[in-house]
Amino acid sequence: MTATIVDGKEIAAAILGEVEKSVAGAVSAGGRRPHLAIVVADDPAALSYTKSLQKKGENVGVEVTVEKAAAARGPGIAVLSALADDPAVDAVILQRPFIDRSVDGELSDLISPTKDVDGQSSASLGALWAGRPCFPASTAAAAVLILEHYDVQIEGAEAVVVGRSTVVGKPAAALLLNRHATVTICHTRTKELAGVCKRADIVIAAAGRAGLVTGDMVKPGAAVIDCGYNFLDDGTVVGDAVFDEVAEVAALTNKAVGGVGPITTAILLKHVAGAAVPTEVESF
């Protein structure tokens, strides 16, 4: 095995330590705790995720409340509009899938930019592409933070993003472009995906398809950040890349578990703390 393996837990712990310190400082200076509201449909998986986020938030002093909403357009609009107007709420997430892709998009656009800590609205995504102040989607930010943490050269690099979701692929492409990589976005209709990946100094695997990126698709010495988190039939979690193969070729890569995920959560909570102090919103 040639690759350095990303220690997601360590990186996340460092970020969470900073968040805890900054929140404690703000509270001891008389401020209130940052407050994240998560809007969820009454779905077991979504509720389990939000519970875990709630606990992680508590650990660093961030208040996380859950707004269970009927998964329908009208109630969704009502809940999100109320949260946009509520001065006691610093940050809002719409837990997807809420209804379906098109309605989720419309509802996401009701999150005001200053509270949009997971970059879900069109305004946030556009601000990211335009290089204007915003919170980028946490998973995309985690992937790029990993590259920076391990001193991977982004400027001038050929970066290939596999997957074009608004949650990972597209914001990751924007973040890499803003850092002056030459960025290619691939997807299911890309011809010769292997050849395109093989040109890359940086691969962001974010297609949501288990084992899509194999070792022979990776240029020796490349950095392969695997944002995939796919459940196999037996319950095993695997990434979008074949870890054992890629780790033999790449200079840097990560496992599906303990890689991007913990950093994503840490960045999200960092954004919440930032949203409570609006002057901290910056360009990414």
Q: Which is nearer to its own copies, 113 or 262 (CB)?
A: 113
Minimum distance of its own copies from residue 175's CB (angstroms): 13
Distance CA 284, CA 131 (A): 7
Say if CB 204 and CB 172 are below 8 A apart. Answer: yes
Q: Which is nearer to its own copies, 43 or 109 (CB)?
A: 109
Minimum distance of its own copies from residue 48's CB (angstroms): 27
Q: Which is nearer to its own copies, 154 or 263 (CB)?
A: 154
Minimum distance of its own copies from residue 109's CB (angstroms): 7
Q: Which is nearer to its own copies, 125 or 252 (CB)?
A: 125
Minimum distance of its own copies from residue 120's CB (angstroms): 9
The residues of the shown chain that bind its own copies, judged by CB under 8 A, are: 105-106, 109, 113, 121-132, 134, 155-156, 158, 164, 166, 170, 173, 177, 180, 182-187, 189-191, 196
Minimum distance of its own copies from residue 145's CB (angstroms): 21
Q: Which is nearer to its own copies, 137 or 246 (CB)?
A: 137
